[in-house]
Structures are given as C-alpha cells and as structure tokens.
Amino acid sequence: MTRIKICGITNEKDAVWAASAGVDFIGLNFYKNSPRKISLDMAKRISASLPEFVKSVGVFVDEDIESLLKTVKKAQIKAVQLHGNESPEYCAELKEKVTTAIPADTLWEGALKIIKAFRIEENFQMERLADYQNIDYFLLDTFVKDIPGGTGQTFNWDLAVEIKKTAKPVFLSGGLTPENVIEAIRKVEPFAVDVCSGIERTPTRKDYDKMLAFIKAVRKT
C-alpha cells in the first residue's frame, strides 16, 4: 500500500484532521524562508497530538546538525527530510550523532529515519544517488531555481522510475493533486506520495475537501 505524507502542516487542527483521515506522515517545515515555517512550540504540540502510527517528519534545509538534533529532540520528531544541499558526509555525521543525542526509545524503530530530497530536472545526474547509501529514503521533488520545495509543479516521472532502480524506497513529490496522484502511483509505484500545495487553501491552511479527495484517490490504487 502506498503511504501518504501531508507536508507543510502548520497547526494542530490540520494535523489531527489529516491523521484521522488516514495519512502516514505529517511534514513539519522548519526552513526559515518557507511560508509554511512552523514554530518549535507548535511542532511539539502537533507531535504530541498524533497517534503512534502517524510519524512526524521535520523538514530542514542545510541546517546546522546540532541545531537540527535539538529540534528533533524537543519536538519528538521521528524522521528528518533534508531538502537542501546536504552532502553524504553531512548525512553520515547526522546518523552518528543521533545515537548519543537522542534516546533510541523515543525514535522510530530505535533510529532517526533520514529522507534525502533531490530536486529533479531533465539533466539530473543519477550517479549522485550512489553516494547517499547511508540514508533511508529518497524524496523526489521538482527543480525550480531558488525554491527548495512546495513548487506545485510536476517533473518527468520517467526519471523517478529510473531512480527507483537504486533500490532505495522513494517518496514521490512535486505537483501532486487529487486529480493526478493515481496516474503518478501507477507510473512510479513509489513507497509514498508527498503532497503540499496541491491540497492547500493558503500556505498555512489545508483544504479538507482536497485532502480527503487525495487520500481517497491514493487508497483506490
């Protein structure tokens, strides 16, 4: 079954509604320049309100590792989504430091899951992926200059099919909506689909009708 991640959640009401509707992951954005940036206090409240089967994912862009780990610990985040230019060495250091900074019993299966995002364009260099074998998931988003994510634009899903051959589970993102998500799943067969702007009323509030339509569409596949 394809998992569902709703990203850019900014308030407790939207988070609880999404969890009740059957999503698997809630994305909390800590990138300072994002219109969906969330406060640490709100992130803590959201994580505490989620049932155990819904995992909170912190979205970071080139964040200092020590600062990232403090946020993860305080907000009880179960996975991190690295959406910047984080190097393989950065990911390895993060994995190593988690073991001493955060108690294993507070994490997801005893570990902090790392989702490394890649912004995909037609000339994307597939060989880059081989250097990221110490992370848990790839997230594929659309490349738009100077915008790390939440663009509302799709990319060539044929490239996603090729990337899947790396054997890393894939989160498919970029311009997904209730109208195109079934086609995307049938084409790519991702581990999870990730939606943000496609189900929004505003950058800080989700549209519940669109969210429910998206979830129902995914569950049909």
Question: Residue for token digits 């997904």?
Answer: 176
182-197 pLDDT, tens digit per residue, is: 999 999 999 999 999 9
Backbone angles phi, psi at 119, to 5 degrees: -90, 115
Tokens describing residue 22: 């059957």
Residue 14 known to be catalytic: no
Pairing of strands 137-142, 170-172: parallel
**Domain span holding position 38:** 3-220
Gap between the Cα atoms of 190 and 194, Å rounded:
10
pLDDT of residue 146: 64
Question: Is 141 in the active site?
Answer: yes
Q: pLDDT grade, residue 147 (50/70/90)? A: low
Q: Is the CB of residue 27 less than 8 Å from the CB of residue 196?
A: yes
Instruction: Assign 148 a pLDDT band (cuts: 50, 70, 90).
Output: low
Which candidate in 91, 141, 194, 196 is catalytic?
141
> Is residue 210 within 8 Å of 217, Cβ to Cβ?
no
Strands (E) in the chain, as ranges, are: 3-6, 25-29, 55-60, 79-82, 113-120, 137-142, 170-172, 192-195, 200-202, 205-206
**Domain of residue 82, CATH code:** 3.20.20.70
Calpha distance 113→110 (Å, rounded): 9
Q: Is 155 helix (H, G, I), strand (E, B) or coil?
A: coil
Residue-wise pLDDT for 85-142, tens only, equals: 999 999 999 999 998 888 888 888 888 999 999 999 888 888 889 999 889 999 999 9
25-73 pLDDT tens trace: 999 999 999 999 999 999 999 999 999 999 999 999 999 999 999 999 9
| Predicted pLDDT of residue 144 | 74
Domain count, the chain: 1
- Round to whole Å and give the CA distance between 182 and 175: 13
